[in-house]
Amino acid sequence: MYTEDSIRDIVAAQRKYFRSGETLPIKWRIQQLKRLKAAVLARQDELIAALQADLGRSELEAYLCDIGPIITEVNEMISGLRRWSRPEIHFSGLMCWPSIFTKVYKMPYGVCLVISPFNFPILLTIGVVAAAMCGGNTVVIKSSSKSAASTAALKKFFAEVFPPDYITLIDGGHDVADMCLAQRWDKIFYTGSPSVGKHVLAEAAKNLTPVALELGGETGNWCVVRKDADLKDAARKIAFFKLLNAGQICININQIAVAEEVAEDFLRELKAAFVAQISEHPETNPEYPKLITNTAYDKCAKLADEYRNRIIFGGIGNKENRQYAPTMIYPVAIDEPIVQHELFCPLLPIVPFKDAEVDSLMDVIADREHPLAMYIFTKNMRWANRVMQTYQFGGGCINEVCIHMMVKGVPFNGTGHSGMGAYHGEWGFREFTHPQTVLKGSTHFNLSLREHPYSGEAGKKKMKLLRLFER
């Protein structure tokens, strides 16, 4: 059992270790990242088994969504860290004469708290910890109590691979999380819901601790299917994504808006895609993931029952296994409650709209909280590019789903109710480092320009020089 005193001791030990300077050398950081990668590869069977126990994830899906992305991410860090960490050198400018050069060092924050979620407990723990390590920090992890098997596997993993003064994992419920948040940290990274994100931010504000939040979005992620879209292609990709982790994904499609001119054809294609990929009875298919808890299952089933008369596919589940079929609900009006909050389950409400009124639809979406992702299917690239460049959301795809977050070298996260900050690759290094500006002064040839007197002839001459320098 953890107490505030025991957690405070853990933080103090890590702060002492950080201040020793052990984590600063780039060569040392690369060695630790290589150790992390080797440990993931060596223990992947244990991690995959934990994902199977918590979420019913098959071996292939676990590797696709957790193990593989971690290896790719760490490889990018190992190859890029020397370049990312080089100090920037800037010309100081005439105003700073005779100091010629100023450097910007990329300094680690120090002792970091990483609070990870249940839906991708391996990826969103090890992946974020890797970014913190890349930046030269120490890390305390508070993992989710909902994904108990993964938390146990991760606790064993980190204890065997790294000393606790460098990386350590704390398990427990919300009470333990609050004890963690009560400590003074140098950086906090939280992944989860907007409601808890507000709590994390409020607690961090007490110590003015910088925070990164990766949130799902208050009103969910939209997928817009226009009448000129390739319906079979769109349905195939949407079905794959909604089946993935049984919809428990922060960037998953929360609701679809489909042009009513092609709605019947699209619905037929989407049903066929679900059946082709997971069979007519996914609730008994061992490859289909399960909901994380009985409470999550009951919440999903209850909401489905509220829309029972509009369910056109799915709507059945297996409570014993916590599997609930992907469920299409049609038609749904854009102002109904089900499309105004994040679902985080296999339910898929579908909103018809007139294609000629698509811009009005987009304005309604824009008036709600910023989503973490946006997906649009259309052949009208002019319209699609305008949407992607003028609407606010975390990231997205045109005629594709989810794989924008797998691209190397690009940032991932949301804005507003879907998050703050960004990570992945170099962006993760930036998120866990502070740009520290240092000017090196000279003891010779210093101008008296900045010194008094500011009036009289001397002041006039200084003013002329100031105006000259500032051009």
Catalytic residue among 112, 134, 250, 300: 250
Catalytic residue among 61, 73, 203, 214: 214
Q: Are 313 and 327 in contact (CB under 8 A)?
A: yes
Q: Are 234 and 225 in contact (CB under 8 A)?
A: yes
Phi and psi based region of residue 279 (left: phi greater than 0; alpha: psi -120 to 50; beta: remaining): left
Give the span between the Cα atoms of 181 and 376, in whole angstroms: 38
Residue 173 is which amino acid? G
The partner residues of 439 in beta bridges, in order of sequence, read 102
Q: Which two tokens stand for residue 396?
A: 């997205």
Q: Please name which of 251, 252, 221 lies closest in space to residue 239, comparing C-alpha atoms.
A: 252
Q: Are 212 and 188 in contact (CB under 8 A)?
A: yes
CA 249 to chain CA centroid, nearest Å: 10
Q: Which two tokens stand for residue 43?
A: 């223990």
Give the span between the Cα atoms of 243 and 206, in whole angstroms: 41
CA 434 to chain CA centroid, nearest Å: 20
Cβ neighbours around 251 below 10 Å, total: 26
The answer to whether residue 76 is catalytic is no
Where does 43-182 have alpha helices with state H? Answer: 44-55, 59-62, 68-85, 123-134, 148-161, 174-181
CA 440 to chain CA centroid, nearest Å: 38
The answer to whether residue 250 is catalytic is yes
Catalogue the active-site residues: 214, 250
